[in-house]
Structure 1
């Protein structure tokens, strides 16, 4: 992370804190649940019934948080061997073009994520094939539940709001699925930030760090006794 900029705006810092905290918590929860399940299974021939499903959801959340955070710390894989053959002017144009493509991709992903999640939250999906042109009525699927994870008692207040007063036996799907539009929105934000940095000349491309070159430099320093 030493290679990316640390001077972020207030919103950028807040988003970074959310991403870093969430990633740490998710990793911790996945480890704890898996460890407890292993101990229960091999030590007491039992287990947490909802453990596997919970870890699966947490892993999906980790991926969705990680894809936006990886843009920020330039951890996504990229190849710039051909781009580096150009002079700085054309190189910047190509970087801006790549950034625009990434922004459009993230916007399409956000629309698709919202349209998939909205019915589970009793909300309307967007109209328009590629980009939102408004909202259209979608079938209410807020009563859909996950398979194993029970609904915590402190979430019973959502039943009259989301399920017409009917009791949930399991966790409603709109809760774990909410990470889909949220993660896509974070990814869009990070691509927009990267595009702006390239446009302002604060970043030469979407690829800032080169792990292979960094590793070679580290080995050189180690061999030199630094």
Structure 2
């Protein structure tokens, strides 16, 4: 799973770079371009962010301010660390599907990422500019790429984030990890990697 996350993120970054490079060459070299290139890059960027959230939790690169809670005694500090991880997990669960909040008396205007994605799947609307390749159009039933294809990362990304947050919560409880965020506002990461560019 860890290798898949890293490969997937690298592929998205490579695709974004390739699409942007080809578009610039076509536009300024041949006065033409790829229809939907900007929209494709926006979608890839969204996929990178939503997929990268879980990766950031796994490797502990999300930034946070822990100066105050580090001054507390160790048991109080751990309680805050557990609370922070539990709050992140609750945030992910609410964003995945918030329908269950109605049982607590909350009023929602939709059920979260799963409901949002399901609506686009049922309706079948297409993206603004991004088109299917010609050999896929008959199979897809339309020319434009379905919007649900692009938005599939919403439930997947949030589900992965919830999974990694739950893992981090368990590790904090077991004492294998201090926080869900990078400790000391990433000072440790800066110190560890200060010579990285020299290599």
Same fold (TM over 0.5): yes
1:186 equivalent among 160, 168, 171: 160
Match of 1:88 in 2: 74
Q: Which fold has the larger relative contact order, with Cα–Cα distance below 8 Å and residues 6 or more apart in sequence?
A: 2
Unaligned runs of 5+ in 2: 98-111
1:44-83 paired onto structure 2 within 5 Å: 44-83=30-69
Aligned to 1:147, the other structure's residue is in SS state strand
Task: Return the alpha-carbon distance in structure 1 between the equivalents of residues 179 and 144 of structure 2.
Answer: 46
Q: 1:177 to 1:216 in 2, by over 3 A?
A: closer
1:215 equivalent among 172, 178, 190: 190
- Cα displacement string for residues 131-151 of structure 1 (whole angstroms, at most 9, x for unaligned residues): xxxxxxxxxx12x00112212
Aligned to 2:127, the other structure's residue is in SS state strand
Aligned to 1:148, the other structure's residue is in SS state strand
TM-score (norm 2): 0.83
Q: Is the 8 A contact 2:43 2:150 kept in 1?
A: yes
TM-score (norm 1): 0.74
Task: Return the alpha-carbon distance in structure 2 between the equivalents of residues 26 and 67 of structure 1.
Answer: 14
Q: Root-mean-square deviation (CA), in Å?
A: 2.0
Q: 1:217 to 1:198 in 2, by over 3 A?
A: closer
Larger % of helix: which?
2
Note if 1:114 corresponds to 2:114. yes
Q: 1:218 to 1:62 in 2, by over 3 A?
A: closer
**Residues paired across the two proteins, number:** 180
- Cα displacement string for residues 102-127 of structure 1 (whole angstroms, at most 9, x for unaligned residues): 110010111111111111122xxxxx
